[in-house]
């Protein structure tokens, strides 16, 4: 008996053209591009129609997923690409692998909990934040990375232009917001108030990762006012995990090894 694809091809070139046109009209570009190969494979390997359809749909879904990940990664604002698979946990022994594995399940994003990465320069805070952000993008969450000083600048500009609410709404729509480098530069009182408004909006609603080289006891200095610092910390810490990373800067490890840089402590 002749395979049904073969019958289709031999008896109706018009139908074949129409299938291509319909796939194209439906935007099934990947499936359409591999349709002819699969028609060939179906004939050669005697595959069933359902097998072929299954392969075509799977390829379409996986290429759509890949391109959605690419687009979301491009829009995420990551300054560089980092993956947790490239993170050397043997070098950074102060990180509890159990905690890291739990974070990688992304339950904290689902539960709108926060993660605060504290530690000195070069210990991998930004790397971990981006790595978790990449995991979250792959899992289908909307993610945005922003440096805290840049974010404040943007919020101030929005306030001046009368679009603060809209800007806050935009930042609030991300399921995971990563605010990098809190406390590297002190906030003036307008900056602290804007930061508080953002935190209040995201509180118990969406997840935020913060990185900082300052301990919580120093956050009062960052925000210039202990009352606002307490109000911010209260909301940030209510549902949160803190990862206190100790140890040497990864940036300096090779220089230390070669004796080009003095070791601290």
Site residues, Mg ion (CB under 5 A):
126
**Residue selected from 72, 125, 167, 202 as contacting ligand ATP according to rule CB under 6 A:** 125
Binding of ligand ATP at residue 126 (CB under 6 A)?
A: yes
Which C-beta is closer to ligand ATP: that of 208 or that of 211? 211
Q: Locate tokens 């392969």: which residue?
A: 55
The total of other beta-carbon atoms located within 10 Å of residue 122's CB is 17
Q: Tell which residue, 57, 204, 65, 206, has the closest CA to residue 140.
A: 65
- Please answer whether residues 36 and 5 qualify as being in contact, where contact means their C-beta atoms are separated by less than 8 angstroms: no
* Contact call for residues 166 and 158 (beta carbons, < 8 A): yes
Binders of ligand ATP among residues 141 to 180 (CB under 6 A) are: none
131 phi and psi, to 5 degrees?
-60, -45
**Residue 246 binds to ligand ATP (criterion: CB under 6 A):** no
Rounded to whole angstroms, the Cα distance separating 123 from 92 reads 7
Q: How far is CA 23 from CA 20, 29, 30, in A?
A: 5, 7, 9
Q: Does position 213 bind ligand ATP by CB under 6 A? A: yes
8 A C-beta contact, residue 245 and residue 96: no
| Contact status: 200 vs ligand ATP (CB under 6 A) | no
Is residue 247 part of the contact set for ligand ATP (CB under 6 A)?
no
How many residues touch ligand ATP (CB under 6 A)? 17
82 binds ligand ATP (CB under 6 A): yes
In 3D, which of 112, 124, 235, 233 has the Cα closest to residue 176?
A: 112
Cβ-based nearer residue to ligand ATP, 128 or 229: 128
Q: Which of 121, 189, 215, 254 binds ligand ATP (CB under 6 A)?
A: 121
Residue 171's binding partner among ligand ATP, Mg ion, none (Cβ under 5 to 8 angstroms by kind) is none
* Shortest distance (Å) from residue 236 CB to Mg ion: 18
Q: How far apart are CA 74 and CA 71, in angstroms?
A: 5
| 39 vs 20: CA distance, rounded Å | 12
Interacting residue with ligand ATP among 250, 252, 256, 261 (CB under 6 A): 250
Overall residue count recorded for the chain in this entry: 265
> How far apart are CB 3 and ligand ATP at their closest, in Å?
53
Nearest to Mg ion by Cβ — which residue?
Answer: 126
Residue with tokens 């300054």: 79
Residue among 126 and 208 whose Cβ is closer to Mg ion? 126
Residue closer to Mg ion (CB basis): 126 or 207: 126
Q: Which does 92 bind (CB under 5 to 8 A by kind): ligand ATP, Mg ion, none?
A: ligand ATP
The site for ligand ATP (CB under 6 A) is made up of: 82, 87-88, 91-92, 119, 121-127, 211, 213, 250-251
């Amino acid at each position: 008996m002749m395979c049904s694809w073969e019958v289709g091809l031999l008896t109706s070139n018009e139908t074949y053209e129409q299938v291509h046109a319909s796939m194209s009209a439906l935007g099934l570009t990947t499936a359409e591009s591999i349709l002819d190969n699969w028609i060939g494979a179906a004939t050669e390997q005697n595959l069933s129609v359902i097998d072929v359809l299954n392969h075509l749909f799977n390829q379409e879904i996986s290429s759509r997923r890949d391109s959605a990940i690419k687009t979301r990664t491009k829009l995420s604002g990551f300054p560089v690409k980092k993956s947790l698979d490239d993170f050397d946990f043997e070098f950074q022994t102060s990180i509890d692998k159990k905690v890291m594995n739990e974070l990688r399940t992304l339950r904290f994003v689902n539960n709108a909990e926060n993660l605060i990465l504290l530690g000195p320069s070069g210990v991998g805070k930004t790397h971990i934040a981006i790595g978790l952000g990449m995991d979250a993008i792959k899992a289908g969450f909307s993610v945005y990375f922003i440096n805290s000083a840049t974010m404040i600048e943007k919020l101030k500009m929005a306030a001046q232009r009368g679009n603060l609410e809209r800007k806050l709404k935009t930042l609030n729509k991300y399921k995971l917001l990563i605010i990098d480098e809190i406390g590297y530069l002190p906030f003036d009182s307008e900056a602290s108030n804007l930061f508080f408004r953002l935190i209040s909006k995201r509180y118990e609603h969406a997840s935020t990762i913060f990185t900082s080289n300052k301990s919580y006891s120093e956050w009062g200095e960052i925000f210039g006012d202990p009352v606002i610092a307490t109000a911010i910390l209260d909301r940030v810490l209510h549902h949160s995990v803190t990862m206190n990373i100790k140890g040497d800067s990864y940036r300096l490890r090779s220089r230390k090894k070669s004796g080009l840089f003095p070791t601290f402590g």
